[in-house]
Amino acid sequence: MIHRNIKLPESQSFFLFGPRGSGKSTLLKQHFQHKKVLWLDLLNQRTEFELSQDPDRLLDLWKKNRAPWIVVDEVQKIPRLLDVAHRGIEEHRIRFALTGSSARKLRRGGANLLAGRAVERQLHPFSAMELKNEFDLEKALAFGLLPKLWSEDKLSGSDATDFLYAYVQTYLKEEVAAEQLVRNLDPFRRFLVSAAQSNSTIVNRSKIERDAGVSSRQVSRHFEILIDTLIGFYLEPFHLSVRKRQTAKSKFYFFDTGVVRALQNLAGETLSTGSYEFGNLFKTFLINEFVKLRAALNLKWNFSYLRTKDDVEIDLIIEKPRGKPVLIGIKSAAKVGPDDLQSLLHIKEDLDHSATYLLSNSKVGAEIENVRCLHWRSGLREIFALD
Q: What's the whole-number mean pLDDT along residues 127-145? A: 96
For residue 247, the model assigns a pLDDT of: 56
345 occurs within a structural domain: yes
Q: What's the whole-number mean pLDDT along residues 223-240? A: 90
Same domain, 42 and 79: yes
Q: What's the whole-number mean pLDDT along residues 113-139? A: 92
**What is 167-205 written as a DSSP string?**
HHHHIIIIIIITTT--S-HHHHHHHHHHHHHTTTSB--H
For residue 116, the model assigns a pLDDT of: 79
Confidence grade of residue 219 (pLDDT, cut at 50, 70, 90):
very high
Higher pLDDT, residue 336 or 178: 336
- pLDDT exceeding 70 applies to what percent of the chain? 95
Maximum Cα–Cα distance for the chain, whole Å? 69
184 occurs within a structural domain: yes
For residue 239, the model assigns a pLDDT of: 78
232 occurs within a structural domain: no
Name every residue whose Cβ is closer than 8 Å to that of residue 137 and which is 6 or more positions away in sequence.
128, 285, 361
Asked whether the predicted pLDDT for residue 244 surpasses 80, the reply is: no
Higher pLDDT, residue 177 or 137: 137
Confidence grade of residue 110 (pLDDT, cut at 50, 70, 90):
low
Same domain, 106 and 134: no
Average pLDDT score, the chain? 91
Asked whether the predicted pLDDT for residue 182 surpasses 90, the reply is: no
Q: What's the whole-number mean pLDDT along residues 229-238? A: 93
Last residue of a domain, one of 122, 146, 169: 122
Taking the C-alpha atoms of residue 387 and residue 382, their distance in angstroms, rounded to an integer, is 9
Q: What's the whole-number mean pLDDT along residues 364-378? A: 94
Q: What is the pLDDT of residues 323-348, one digit of tens each?
A: 899 999 999 999 998 888 988 988 88
Same domain, 73 and 132: no
Backbone conformation region of residue 144, classed left if phi is above 0, alpha if psi is from -120 to 50, else beta: left
Domain that holds residue 58: 14-122
250 occurs within a structural domain: no
For residue 277, the model assigns a pLDDT of: 95
149 occurs within a structural domain: yes
Q: What's the whole-number mean pLDDT along residues 205-233? A: 92
Q: How many domains does the chain have?
A: 3
Asked whether the predicted pLDDT for residue 268 surpasses 70, the reply is: yes
Asked whether the predicted pLDDT for residue 72 surpasses 80, the reply is: yes
Same domain, 139 and 218: yes
Confidence grade of residue 246 (pLDDT, cut at 50, 70, 90):
low
pTM value? 0.92
Higher pLDDT, residue 156 or 378: 378
Q: What's the whole-number mean pLDDT along residues 284-298? A: 96
Confidence grade of residue 308 (pLDDT, cut at 50, 70, 90):
confident
Determine contact, residues 42/73, Cβ cutoff 8 Å.
yes
39 occurs within a structural domain: yes
For residue 183, the model assigns a pLDDT of: 81
How deeply is 355 buried, as exposed, middle or buried, from its count of CB atoms within 10 A (0-12, 13-18, 19+)?
A: middle
Same domain, 164 and 220: yes
Taking the C-alpha atoms of residue 166 and residue 149, their distance in angstroms, rounded to an integer, is 13
The SS3 call for residue 307 is strand
For residue 45, the model assigns a pLDDT of: 92
Taking the C-alpha atoms of residue 189 and residue 17, their distance in angstroms, rounded to an integer, is 24
Last residue of a domain, one of 77, 103, 122: 122
For residue 151, the model assigns a pLDDT of: 82
Asked whether the predicted pLDDT for residue 160 surpasses 70, the reply is: yes
**What is 319-349 written as a DSSP string?**
E-SSS--EEEEE---S---GGGGHHHHHHHT
